[in-house]
């Protein structure tokens, strides 16, 4: 079984960070360094079909969770602190409820244990218009994407995935074809009877709609010890929009 690609920084207690859909470990570089400077061995992991990790036609949260267990076994990690954002948060929830002994504490960023209908169509519609036989640099890719995706922040996030596949030929690191086909899987929930009795922190952005107050009972049903915190002046990318407060709240929880 292939092992997920990662960047490891710092020394201390193992801390695994899982990025969101169409993201990669690099999205967490700044915060990862902060955790690493404060007593953690930080593992910034690329999930399958993302970043520099392997591509596969198989894609669901069961497999994504198994990938992390395989990664932990490979690196001789018995138990780790685990943080997951969005899709990574679903992976982290699946991991904690399936293998509670392997998760010391759980942090879930801006996603609830519920089904989300597919809502990334506009992104894939924009990506479909990128012809890398014609586009020769990042600026041209951004200009084309801008015709379909108005939000500059979303475009910058996607364009971080650009890399030189070969000389003068750009491509995306994520597995466009499979992820487009598996959009339904991204919204899937963890198992209905899944429970993690360990310490858990759910953080949501005050401008995000991903975790509503009516989701709190469902969070508590799956994660009885869950604390729920709100990050000010932040949407779904709360860790990038208010990193200072995000770090403070998560770091306090990790050390409590």
**Catalytic: which of 6, 53, 86, 98?**
86
Hey, which residues does 9 pair with through a beta bridge? 42
**CA dist list (Å): 125 to 24, 148, 149, 165, 236:** 21, 7, 9, 22, 21
How many other CB atoms are found less than 10 A from the CB of residue 255? Answer: 10
Token representation of residue 68:
């992390």
Identified catalytic residue from 19, 43, 236, 239: 236
Residue 236 falls in the annotated catalytic set = yes
86 is catalytic: yes
How many CB atoms sit inside 10 A of residue 133's CB? 7
Catalytic residues: 86, 236
């Amino acid at each position: 079984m292939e092992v997920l690609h990662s960047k490891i920084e710092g020394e201390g207690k193992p801390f695994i960070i899982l990025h969101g859909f169409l993201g990669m470990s690099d999205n967490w570089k700044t915060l990862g360094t902060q955790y690493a400077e404060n007593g953690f061995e930080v593992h910034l992991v690329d999930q399958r079909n993302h970043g520099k990790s392997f591509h596969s036609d198989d894609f669901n949260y069961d497999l994504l969770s198994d990938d992390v267990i395989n990664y932990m076994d490979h690196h001789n990690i018995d138990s780790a602190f685990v943080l997951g954002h969005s899709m990574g948060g679903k992976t982290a929830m699946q991991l904690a409820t399936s293998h509670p002994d392997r998760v010391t504490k759980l942090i879930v960023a801006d996603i609830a244990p519920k089904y989300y209908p597919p809502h990334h169509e506009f992104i894939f519609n924009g990506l479909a218009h990128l012809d890398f036989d014609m586009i020769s640099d990042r600026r041209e890719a951004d200009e084309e994407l801008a015709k379909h995706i108005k939000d500059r922040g979303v475009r910058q996030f996607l364009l971080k995935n650009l890399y030189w596949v070969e000389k003068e030929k750009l491509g995306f690191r994520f597995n466009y074809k499979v992820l487009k086909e598996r959009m339904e899987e991204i919204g899937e929930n963890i198992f209905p009877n899944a429970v993690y009795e360990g310490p858990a922190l759910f953080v949501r952005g005050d401008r995000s709609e991903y975790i509503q107050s009516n989701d709190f009972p469902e969070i508590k049903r799956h994660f009885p010890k869950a604390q729920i915190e709100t990050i000010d002046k932040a949407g779904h990318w709360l860790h990038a929009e208010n990193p200072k407060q995000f770090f403070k709240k998560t770091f306090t929880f990790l050390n409590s």
